[in-house]
Amino acid sequence: MNNKRSLLPTLLVVLLIVLSFGAGFAYSKLFTPAAPELPAEFDTLGEVWELLSLDYVNKDALDPEELSRGAIEGMLEALGDPYTSYLESYQLASSDLEGSFEGIGAIVSMEDGELTVVSPIAGGPAERQGMRAGDKILEVDGEPTSEMNLIEAVLKIRGDKGTTVTLLILHQGETTPVAIEIVREEIKLDSVYLDMLPEDTAHIRITHFVERTPDELTEALNSALQSDAWGIILDLRGNPGGYLDVVVDVADEFLDGGIILYEADSEGDIIEEWTASSGGLATDLPLIVLVDGGSASGSEVLAGALRDHGRATLIGTKTYGKGSVNILHELSDHSALYVTMARWLTPDRHLIEGVGLIPDIEVEITEEDIASGRDPQLERAIEYLQAQ
């Protein structure tokens, strides 16, 4: 995409970092007025402003900036596309998923008007306080999130390390909400974790795709190979996505060529394609991929590519279903607009957006499993891999 950096996060918000909308977006230059002229129907907007200026009783409420923002948000809402979004700060929208940050460590989405946890960051304060994928955040410090948009909710939850936020949470599958206090922390975003399991099986978890993920994965794979690993369980559960080029680099380690993903227009016609190069570290090792409802966007692209090429069996539960391509524009007032411009397809041209991936072997994790510390999905992956 020329000089633009593509991303693959979901319509999610990393509460400690950045507002990352869409399955992929490219940073654009400052918007310039090269767009077509406004249609005649937009003349009514000017008429409304003129009449309000003349006749509205409360002139103090006629804030042009506030009304302009409301008009933009109304326009985008009329599209019915949650991934085409407006943000007041381009700088906030374009922050990288890198380094260390301060917050609660959770990724959320606005689903059917409800602030929903897609995934807590591994090891973060939200996860330690019992926040799980699928939970609904009903209130932030006593204020109902039903009266906030996604950005407003996120900005209320974010904050400096050492400060506390109280969230009213409705855990998935439960009927009574509970209040939890979370102390915000500095969270370091390591993205790859290796655990050598019995019988020389490598369990590699990728929590998100950031700039240093390929180096971390190379280190993990080399360590696994030095430990005589004969099979790999690649854990993408709760992985919300990240940089597209990083996803491609990760796929390269497991594929010895071929298509990784396609970018298609609304008619399904291919706009662009990404291919794997040869020479990966783990192109021949038996491979299982773990996925769940928190596996979104980049992790869905990777899992779909590995399955379509016959490289991996997917175990777990249905993935999130986020596969739209978004481009990020900086507007003249330094606000930002995400625009959905295309869809991601797997190598076999399966649509991800709104559909997700159904695992080859479906394994649920129950509340009892969580309470007892069991991981039946990982257990099934080990069992399946060892039977190969």
Residues belonging to the active site: 297, 308, 322
Coil/strand/helix, residue 169: strand
Alpha-carbon span 333 to 335, nearest angstrom: 6
Burial of residue 72 (CB within 10 Å: 0-12, 13-18, 19+) is: middle
Measure Cα distances from 46 to 64, 74, 275 in Å: 12, 15, 49
Contact 239, 295 (CB under 8 A): yes
Q: Residue holding tokens 């869905």?
A: 300
To 10 degrees, the CA torsion angle through 69, 73, 76, 77? -170
Two structure tokens written together for 159: 């904050």
- Residue 144, beta-bridge partner list: 139
Compute how many other C-beta atoms are within 10 angstroms of the C-beta atom of residue 32.
Answer: 8
Q: Residue holding tokens 């009266």?
A: 147
Coil/strand/helix, residue 265: coil
Amino acid making up residue 310: G
For residue 260, give the nearest of 3, 4, 6 by alpha carbon. 6
Contact 292, 309 (CB under 8 A): no
